[in-house]
Homo-oligomer: A and B are copies of this chain.
Amino acid sequence: MHFTAEQRLDDGVLEREFTLGEIPGILWTPGPAPAPLILLGHPGGLRRMYPRLVARARHGVAAGFAAATIELPGSGDRPRSAAAEEARADLHRALAAGQPVDDEIVNRLVLPLVDQAVPEWRTALDALLALPEIRGPIGYAGGVIAIGVRLAVVEPRIAAALLFAGSYVPRAMFEEARQVTIPLQVLLQWDDEGNDRQLALDLFDAFGSREKTLHANMGGHTGVPEFEGDAGNRFFARHLR
Contacts and interface: CB of A to CB of B under 8 A. Distances in A.
Interface of A: 190, 201, 204-205, 209-218, 225, 227, 230-231, 234, 238
B210 A218 contact: yes
Given A190-B205, A227-B238, A234-B227, A214 B213 contact: no
Contacts of A201: 201
A230 B216 CA distance: 18
A216 B214 contact: yes
A212 B218 contact: yes
Contacts of A210: 218
Contact of A214 (B209, B214, B230, B231): B214
Contacts of A215: 213-215
Report whether over half of chain A's contact residues are helix, strand or loop; otherwise say mixed.
mixed
A210 B217 CA distance: 9
A190 B203 CA distance: 13
Contacts of A211: 218, 225
A191 to B, nearest CB: 10
Given A210-B218, A213-B217, A214-B214, 9 more contacts: A190-B205, A190-B214, A212-B217, A213-B225, A214-B215, A214-B216, A214-B217, A216-B216, A231-B231
A225 B212 CA distance: 10
Contacts of A227: 234, 238
Contact of A213 (B204, B209, B216): B216
Contacts of A230: 234
Contacts of A231: 231
A211 to B, nearest CB: 7
Nearest to A219: B210
Nearest to A238: B227
Nearest to A204: B216
Nearest to A186: B216
20 contacts: A190-B204, A190-B205, A190-B214, A201-B201, A210-B218, A211-B218, A211-B225, A212-B217, A212-B218, A213-B215, A213-B216, A213-B217, A213-B225, A214-B214, A214-B215, A214-B217, A215-B215, A227-B234, A230-B234, A231-B231
